[in-house]
Amino acid sequence: MRSPCSILIYPRGLIVSLFLTACCLGNEHEASHQWPHWRGPGDDSRMTDPRLPLKWNDQSIAWRTTIPGVGQSTPIVWANRIFLTSADEDGQNRYVHGIDRKTGKIAWSRTIPSPPPAVKHNMNSYAAASCATDGKHVVSFFGRAGVHCFDVEGTPLWSRNDLGAFAGPWGTAASPLLVGNLVIQNCDADENAYLIAFDKKTGKTIWKVARDDYRGWSTPFLIKTKDRSELILNGHRGLRAYDPLTGQELWFCQSFNGRGAPTPIYNDDKIIVLNGKPGDIYAVRPGGQGDVTDTHMAWHTPRGGRDIPSPAISGNFILAVGLRGVASCYDLKTGKELWKKRLGGIFTASPLVINEKFMVHNEVGEVFVIEPNQDFVIHAQNQLSREDDELFHASTTPHAGQLLFRSNRALYCIGH
């Protein structure tokens, strides 16, 4: 196994460091009003907008669009355009779609032929990773079928088909992240695992760092401490922070048993980490150096982890939902479990926070709106109308007073 600290840095990384900060600041305000990547502009799956519906019925559906192929990537939105992916059921072709947000009409679709597809779990699909956009570029990731960049009108800009075989039994799901002029992609796998940054305009490699050889599905995200920016990524052995400019590892916090699948969340100067099945939940303070397991772990709650969904935070309350429908609420400051309730059904979608209330849905379209509270309180419960073969594995996307729900075969817009 290669050392997770071994790094390959390309000369272009020196150029990136001169203007990465300027790029981030220039686009930060505009991106804050969009849903540019997995978990939204703050990487915390939250949106405050009084127009967003918490209760609805069939008359609240603005439109429903059938999507060619199948998939479970979460829709992303910039202005009037929705971007999402799908794939043939056998994985031979992958697709990127641009959809009109107001009408649901598919404006363009691009086909990406795939090499012989890797093995995947029956709950996964060949289009699980969400796109990422900055309003000019749209980046998609399909594991063995590569990373592909288009402009917002679907014009191909560049592709990378040399990312590896992605060995492992369950497929891929980590979404790309745009940071300044970089496209950052987690390529965890059972062999030749790594984290990589591409030049957003050309697709050339800027830096590449080896990681533990073990399958992984977590998406990296960026946090800003008072002293620096840190690129955070969950994994099989624990949580790691990297310098986004160079890929240099900054610190590592060892985890407890689990798969490291969920994406952590940053709040109250702590990174909240779910290990995944059957691990724990713990909090880590950023800003350290080297192994920070003993110095920067703020709290740890045993057996609190959940398999697939990532956590959400509202006020002082953390919501975690398990695959089998058990929802748990934790105190943000201490990690104490406040309540645990079975919602019912299978959950792969991650919860989000709408106007400070938690919202999460199961695979058959039952949507639960839960109060952030010391006690379990349901604020509302809704049912998405669906075809018999539709399953809702993707997370919800809020934008411009509407909610986007994606099933394996269709995209729904709720709200007018």
Q: What is the dihedral of CA 360, 364, 365, 368, to 10 degrees?
A: -40
What value does the mean pLDDT of the chain take?
Answer: 91
pLDDT at 260: 78
Question: For 233-243, what is each residue's pLDDT tens digit?
Answer: 999 899 999 99
| pLDDT surpasses 90 at 121 | no
Mean pLDDT of 165-193: 93
The 3-state DSSP composition of the chain as helix, strand, coil percent (nearest 5) reads: 5, 40, 55
pLDDT at 256: 84
pLDDT at 169: 78
Task: State how many domains the chain has.
Answer: 1
**What pLDDT band is residue 151 in, cutting at 50, 70 and 90?**
very high
Of 343, 338, 377, residue with least CA distance to 357? 377
Please report whether residue 2 resides in a domain.
Answer: no
Q: What is the dihedral of CA 162, 163, 164, 166, to 10 degrees?
A: -150
Question: For 253-310, what is each residue's pLDDT tens digit?
Answer: 999 877 778 999 999 899 999 987 777 899 999 999 999 999 999 999 987 767 789 9
pLDDT at 13: 41
CA 359 – CA 404 distance, rounded (Å): 13
Question: For 18-76, what is each residue's pLDDT tens digit?
Answer: 444 445 544 565 666 899 999 999 999 999 999 999 999 989 999 999 999 999 999 99
3-state DSSP of 120-162: CCCCCCCCCCCCEECCCEEEEECHHHCEEEEECCCCEEEEECC
Please report whether residue 386 resides in a domain.
Answer: yes
Bridge partners of residue 230, in order along the sequence: 223
Task: Give, as one character, the DSSP assignment of residue 41.
Answer: T
pLDDT at 27: 57
Please report whether residue 284 resides in a domain.
Answer: yes
| pLDDT surpasses 50 at 139 | yes
pLDDT at 275: 83
Question: For 209-226, what is each residue's pLDDT tens digit?
Answer: 999 988 888 999 999 999
What CATH number did the domain enclosing 389 receive? Answer: 2.130.10.10
Please report whether residue 1 resides in a domain.
Answer: no
Regarding pTM above 0.95, the answer is no
pLDDT at 25: 46
Token digits of residue 310: 């990532």
Mean pLDDT of 339-368: 97
Mean pLDDT of 83-91: 95
Residues 6 or more apart whose CB falls under 8 angstroms from that of 122 comprise none
Domain, as residue range, for 320? 7-414
For 336, the 3-state DSSP assignment is: coil
Higher pLDDT, 150 or 261: 150
Bridge partners of residue 378, in order along the sequence: 370
Residue at 365: amino acid letter: G
- Cβ atoms of 114 and 145 within 8 Å: the answer is yes
Task: Give, as one character, the DSSP assignment of residue 389.
Answer: T
Task: Give, as one character, the DSSP assignment of residue 29.
Answer: H
| pLDDT surpasses 60 at 12 | no
Please report whether residue 100 resides in a domain.
Answer: yes
- Cβ atoms of 98 and 138 within 8 Å: the answer is yes
CA 330 – CA 358 distance, rounded (Å): 13
Of 230, 210, 349, 325, residue with least CA distance to 285? 230
Percent of the chain at pLDDT above 70?
91
- Cα dist. 396→76, 127, 190, 326 in Å? 10, 16, 30, 19
